Amino acid sequence: MNRSPHITNAPSVSSIMLKVLLALLPGIFVYAWLYGGGILITLVLATATALGTEALMLKLRRRPVQPFLSDYSAVITAWLLALAIPPLAPWWLIVVGVAFAIIVAKQLYGGLGYNPFNPAMVGYAVLLISFPVIMTKWPAALSFAETKLSFMDQFHYIFSHALPANISMDAVTSATPLDYLKTQLKLNQSMDAIQVAPIFGVFGAKGSEFVALAYLAGGAFLWQQRIITWHLPTAFLGAIAAMAGLFWMIDPSQFANPVFHLFSGASIFAAFFILTDPISGPTTPKGKLYFAAGAGVITYLVRVYGGYPDGVAFAVIFMNICVPLIDMYTQPRVFGHKK
Amino acid sequence: MNAPINIAGLLKKTKDVFNFHGGVRLPEHKAQSNQLPIGQLPLPDQLVLPLRQHIGIMPKVRVAVGDHVLKGQLIAEAEGSVSAAIHAPTSGTIAAIADAVLPHPSGLPDRCITITPDGNDTWIERHPQDWRKGDVNTLVNSLRLSGIVGLGGAAFPTQIKLRSTRSPIHTLVINAAECEPYITCDDMLMRERYDQVVHGIEVAQRLLAAKNIMIGIEDNKPEAIKAMQAAVENTGIQVKVVPTVYPSGDARRLVYLVLGKEVPQNKRSTEFGVQVFNVATVLALYRYFEFGEPAISRIVSMTGNVNQAQNFEVLFGTPLRHLVKAAGGAKADTSHYIMGGPMMGFNLPSEDVPITKSANCIIAASSTLFEPPPPSMPCIRCSRCADACPVSLQPQELYWFAKSDNFEKAQDYNLFDCIECGACSYVCPSDIPLVQYYRYAKSEVIALDKAQEAADLARERNEFRLARIEREKQERTAKHAARAQGAKVAKAAGNSGSKPAATDKQAAIAAAIARAKVQKETDSAAPKNTTEMSAATKAEIAETDSRRVAAGLTEEKSPAADGDKQAKIVAAIARAKAQKADVSKMSVSGDDKTTKPVVDADKQAKIDAAIKQAKVAKAEAGKEKTSGNNDGQLMVDAEKQAKIDAAIKRAKAAKFAALTAKNKEDN
């Protein structure tokens, strides 16, 4: 066979995906430390579901199972979704979400490389729409909570929905700051008054702001490893900051400051791990800027005006639809063509 | 004042090289073959010179088998504008002019001249030319006899690149980038023969009347850079050190690197006054003019999985086997040989192929040296290929379109700007053979274009034909009209004159005779016996005919039980029918006496027909004996049709016979 080039030097798909998983570890570590080991149970459940459904679908589609299971792309979807849902959600929630993500959002579209939407975000959106109450109930970070749940308590709660006798669910969970902010603002509370609530941290949500910092570190690793480029995170966070800054400058009593928006919700996590999914994202440098900026603007608008506390999933899915168009109109100038 | 603009302008001016988008850094493997000086090969036993070693038309063979040739003797002459001559690389005898396997990706054999060296290596008389003072046109034209082609690998006849162009050449870029791994032939050439290289550049400079000259060398060749820098001192030639980024040796990339100018799409650099030559090519020019030596050898890197990698001065036509032996032989696990570099080279079909003008490097390959690629994964749109593409294409989109045979879209995404450098494949995490997809798409587009062209041509020709027919028709009509007009005029003239009146009269008589004859014929052709018949009789005939046919059909409708039996029945029926027909005919004709001979003839015809029919039926029955009811039905249908046809024929025959008989009688 005459195949040139005769040499290659590229990381394999598996090694790229493994590095993404590696980059998630600092965030997971901080997450588990702040919120308890329950997240690890969810991660295991998610991973098992992803591999199981992926193998099943590959079998049904008569595709080789082993090479596609060992590309780790299903595991990434599983982890991203597990980290996106509340840590004490019942076991079936993550199973349903991951199964939907893998079966419908990924395999039914043709598997790796062919899914037009970010599978984890499709799974998230389905769960959010189907089970809004569970999906918006976040436990307070353990380290700051008055009532603490042990790992075994969390384990029991995830599988049997039962808490120790002396603890009520309300004592453990609360609204997220983004959610709280929205409802309080509707009650005509002033921003200053709202932000003294214990769920607010130094610059974001109490506890989760540190998880966000850990994700930032993981993102920096991905950038350093040349797995992601600067375009997507910068444009996404830039757009959120710009939107938040603009509104905040107009009326600081009604709108939270940009730093709060950057470190609340899924901003950092999405900037480095969700938007950077290459398959469902644009490929041109300019396209990446448009895509991420668009996602940032929509995220902010959903946060402030929409019916859901955070808007990353909807923003990403909407921008996924635009990818072919973005790619088409952001073709770089070809060498020797007119400027 | 405009300080920032000036600063920007200054920055641009002082910039030494201009980096192009993309490109890849490759492991070089150059140290393997550039440790030893350029070696000389002993004369091989045989030299096989393919006629097609260059881009363009095959040269015309000027020798015959058995001829003795001298070193440097022209053995094939350039033919047409884009062609290159071939010379005997040593003295010897023409052993064969036949097809042999070529070092070509196709692996297909092509015409070659085989020379058996006599071992004397005797030069033909050489004619050096004064390239410093001689007439430029004469010098350039004489290159047609030099056989020199671009030695960088493209093998384009050099003479054409030196002919004066519409836009004068002001800048000459010497390509010494040698960006592919493993290859060191230009590196060694510059290290050892820098003075000849400079002279060669001067030759090209003189012929092109170029003012600026730049040599582009990648920064991974410090010895060559040093040697060239020393050699060009006081000549005005600039040595441009370009970064080691593949594919800096691509002519368009190199022009951009040293000049910051992009050669526009579908244009040549000569259109804005820049010409590019490979460093070895200019040296060949120098040797041709200075010593009268045509192109008979080149420097080849023999590297990779051999025991002693080295560059050799190799006579064209030397079998690869001979070269491998000189490099200490190939290691045991050598699986095949690659001609060119590992990025754009191709696998050679065997060790027997000859070294040609475009062979800059031969790499002995093994599975450890070049790991077979793992199976391809789906594209994950990581766009590493787009980052690596030196042309700023979108390889992932081109791949998608090529894979789905969407060639139109592939062309929209500038498929034909792809230089097939392989940088995209090199960085692909999914190990997709992207270049192969692009080649496939390109070849399909070219094939489709050709088919379209052929179809267009056919359509044009058809349209032309139709137009011609129409034209001829009109011309005929016009001619007829003119003739009729002429006749009228003549008639008018005849009426007025007396002389043509006689001929006119004669013509009228002839016409009358002809008319009479025709009348007679038509009269006799018309069935006389029927013209006299009443309407009632006619109806009776029709009725009888229809009844007869109906009877035949009803009898034959019963499906065949046995083929033979069926055939017999058919024959019997036919006979009966023939008789019946005779009877009816007789009754129709009414007059027994006159119809008697007719009846006999008729009868005979009918019997013949019936026998024939029976035979056919028998054959068909035999064929379809085994088939079931449906087939039987079909057979019956077929028979039915045959019978109807036969009946009609018979009736016609009878009628005709009757008529002939009657005519005879009449006469």
Under 8 Å CB pairs connecting chains A and B tally to: 133
At A159-194, the pLDDT tens digits run: 887 777 777 766 667 777 787 777 777 777 777 777
The band of B528, judged by pLDDT with boundaries at 50, 70 and 90, is very low
Question: Per-residue pLDDT tens for B553-562?
Answer: 444 444 444 5
Question: In this predicted model, what pLDDT tens digit does every residue of B110-129 receive, in sequence order?
Answer: 999 999 999 999 999 999 99
**Residue B211 domain-assigned (yes or no):** yes
Total domain count, chain B: 2
Specify the pLDDT at position B542: 62
Give the length of chain B.
Answer: 667
**What's B143's DSSP letter?**
G
Per the CB < 8 A criterion, the answer to whether B76 and B59 are in contact is yes
Q: pLDDT of B449-498, one tens digit each?
A: 999 999 999 999 999 999 999 999 999 999 999 888 888 777 766 665 44
User: Comparing B4 with B480, which gets the higher pLDDT?
Assistant: B480
Please report the residues numbered 338 through 357 in chain B whose beta carbons come closer than 8 angstroms to any beta carbon of chain A: 338, 342-347
The residue that leads in pLDDT, B520 or B5, is B520
pLDDT at B5: 47
* Averaged pLDDT of chain B: 82
pLDDT at B22: 93
Q: Which residues of B touch A332 (CB under 8 A)?
A: 21, 386, 392, 394
The pLDDT of residue B632: 40
**A13 interface with B at CB cutoff 8 Å:** yes
**Which of A68, A71, A283, A289 is the mutation pick for testing B, counting most B CBs within 10 A?**
A283
Query: Is residue A337 less than 8 Å (CB to CB) from chain B?
Result: yes
What is the pLDDT at residue B630? 43
Is B373's CB within 8 Å of A8's CB? yes
Sign, CA dihedral A120-A126-A131-A136, equals: positive
Place of tokens 């030639």: B237
What is d(CA A293, CA A232) in angstroms, rounded to the nearest whole number?
A: 8
Sign of CA dihedral B443, B447, B448, B450: positive
Provide the shortest C-alpha distance from residue A48 to chain B (in Å). 23
Q: Which residues contact B192 (CB under 8 A, 6 or more apart)?
A: B37, B38
Q: pTM of the entire structure?
A: 0.76
**What's the rounded mean pLDDT across residues A234-239?**
97
Instruction: Give the lowest-confidence range in A10-19, A145-154, B310-319.
Output: A145-154
If one compares A213 and B636, the residue with the highest pLDDT of the two is: A213
Nearest by CB: B381 against A7, A279, A337: A279
Q: Which of B237, B271, B292 is the last residue of a domain?
A: B292
**Cβ-based burial of B489 (10 A; exposed 0-12, middle 13-18, buried ≥19):** exposed
pLDDT tens-digit series, residues B140-192:
999 999 999 999 878 899 999 888 777 889 999 999 999 999 999 999 999 99
Among partner residues A8, A333, A338, which is closest to B392 by beta-carbon distance? A333
Phi, psi for residue B48 in degrees, rounded to 5:
-115, 115
Q: For residues A221-245, give the mean pLDDT.
A: 96
Q: Is residue B92 part of a domain?
A: no
Contact B507/A at CB under 8 A: no
Is the per-residue pLDDT at B604 higher than 80?
Answer: no
Work out the average pLDDT over B313-334.
95
In a domain, B601, yes or no: yes
DSSP-derived 3-state class of residue B290:
helix
Predicted ipTM of the assembly: 0.90
Residue type, B630: N
Q: What does the pLDDT read at residue A328?
A: 94
Residue B252 pLDDT exceeds 50: yes
Beta-bridge partners for B354:
B319
% chain B with pLDDT above 90: 61
Contacts 24+ apart (CB under 8 A), B187-190: B187/B30, B187/B34, B187/B221, B187/B223, B187/B224, B188/B34, B188/B37, B188/B38, B188/B299, B188/B301, B188/B311, B189/B38, B189/B279, B189/B280, B189/B283, B189/B299, B190/B217, B190/B221, B190/B224, B190/B227, B190/B228, B190/B279
Using H for helix, E for strand and C for coil, what is the string for chain A? CCCCCCCCCCCCHHHHHHHHHHHHHHHHHHHHHHHCCHHHHHHHHHHHHHHHHHHHHHHHCCCCHHHHHCCCHHHHHHHHHHHHCCCCCCHHHHHHHHHHHHHHHHHHHCCCCCCCCCHHHHHHHHHHHHCHHHHCCEECCHHHCCCCCCHHHHHHHHHHCCCCCCCCHHHHEECCHHHHHHHHHHCCCCHHHHCCCCCECCCCECCHHHHHHHHHHHHHHHHHCCCCCCHHHHHHHHHHHHHHHHHHHHCCCCCCCHHHHHHCCCHHHHHHHHCCCCCCCCCCHHHHHHHHHHHHHHHHHHHHHCCCCCCHHHHHHHHHHHHHHHHHHCCCCCCCCCC
Q: What is the pLDDT of residues B372-421, one digit of tens each?
A: 888 899 999 999 999 999 999 999 999 999 999 999 999 999 999 999 99
pLDDT at position B625: 43
CATH for B276: 3.40.50.11540
CA distances from A271 to A120, A121, A276, A314 (A): 14, 13, 7, 14
What pLDDT, on the 0 to 100 scale, is given for residue A205?
Answer: 73
Residues in chain B closer than 8 A to A4 (CB atoms):
342-346, 420, 422, 425, 435
pLDDT, residue B545, reads 60
pLDDT digits (tens, 9 = 90+) for B55-93: 889 999 999 999 999 999 999 999 888 899 999 999 999
Angle between helices B222-231 and B185-208 (to 10 degrees): 30
Tell me how close the Cα of A292 comes to any Cα of chain B, in angstroms. 16
Residues constituting chain A: 339
**3-state SS, one letter per residue, for B505-537:** HHHHHHHHHHHHHHHHHHHHHCCHHHHCCCHHH
Q: Which among B345, B449, B361, B438 is positioned nearest to B399, based on CA atoms?
A: B438
The verdict on B385 touching A (C-beta cutoff 8 Å) is no
Q: What is the pLDDT of residue B61?
A: 93
Kindly report the backbone phi and psi dihedral angles of residue B310, in degrees, each rounded to the nearest multiple of 5, phi listed first.
-165, 160
Portion of chain B with pLDDT greater than 70, in percent: 72
Candidate from A148-152, A156-160, A211-215, B427-431 with smallest mean pLDDT: A148-152
Q: Is A71 on the interface with B (CB under 8 A)?
A: yes
B35 lies in some domain: yes
The residue extents of the domains of chain A are: 10-174, 176-331
Tokens of B200: 């060669």
- Which of chain A's residues have a Cβ under 8 Å away from the Cβ of B26? 7, 9
Taking residues A213-228, what's their average pLDDT? 96
| B629 vs B637: CA distance, rounded Å | 12
pLDDT value of residue B138? 92
Distances (CA, A) of B485 to B481, B482, B508: 6, 5, 19
* Average pLDDT taken over every residue of chain A: 89
Interchain contact A188–B (C-beta under 8 A): no
Q: Which one, of B429, B434, B426, lies nearest residue A19 by Cα?
A: B429
Contacts of B241 (CB under 8 A, 6+ apart): B16, B17, B217, B218, B219, B225
Average pLDDT over every residue of B338-351: 93
Higher pLDDT, B505 or B464: B464
pLDDT at B569: 59
Residues of B in contact with A67 (CB under 8 A): 375, 377
- DSSP letters along B122-141, please? PBPPP----TTTS-HHHHHH
Residue B654 in any domain: the answer is yes
Q: Determine the Cα–Cα distance for residues B499 and B198; give it in Å rounded to an integer.
A: 98
Q: Is residue B504 part of a domain?
A: no
Domain end residue (candidates: B250, B269, B292): B292
User: Residue A56 pLDDT more than 60?
Assistant: yes
Residue range A48-69: mean pLDDT, rounded:
94
Mean pLDDT for A36-40 is 89
Give the domain extent around B230: 11-40+128-292
Identify the residue with better confidence: B543 or A323: A323
Backbone phi, then psi, for B114, in 5-degree steps? -105, 130
Last residue of a domain, one of B269, B292, B315: B292
Which residue is closest to B24 within chain A, CA to CA? A9
Domain contains B564: yes
* Number of Cβ atoms within 10 Å of the Cβ of A158: 21
Going B40 to B42 to B43 to B47, the CA torsion angle's sign is negative
For B436, phi and psi rounded to 5 degrees? -65, -40
Count of beta carbons in the 10 Å neighbourhood of residue A173? 17
A-facing residues of B in 633-652 (CB < 8 A) are none
Give residue-wise pLDDT tens across range B638-651.
556 666 666 666 66
The pLDDT of residue A286 is 96
Res. B601: pLDDT tops 70: no
Q: Which residue has the higher pLDDT, B288 or B617?
A: B288
- The torsion region of residue A12 among left (phi > 0), alpha (psi -120 to 50) and beta comes to beta
Q: For residue A176, what pLDDT is reported?
A: 78
Cα B23 to its chain centre, rounded Å, is 33
Q: Residue B439: pLDDT above 70?
A: yes
> What per-residue confidence (pLDDT) applies to B622?
47
CB B388 within 8 A of CB B424: yes
Quick: pLDDT tens for B269-292.
Answer: 888 899 999 999 999 999 999 999
Residue B284 in any domain: the answer is yes
CA atoms within 13 A on the CB side of B422: 24
**A322, burial (CB in 10 Å: exposed 0-12, middle 13-18, buried 19+):** middle
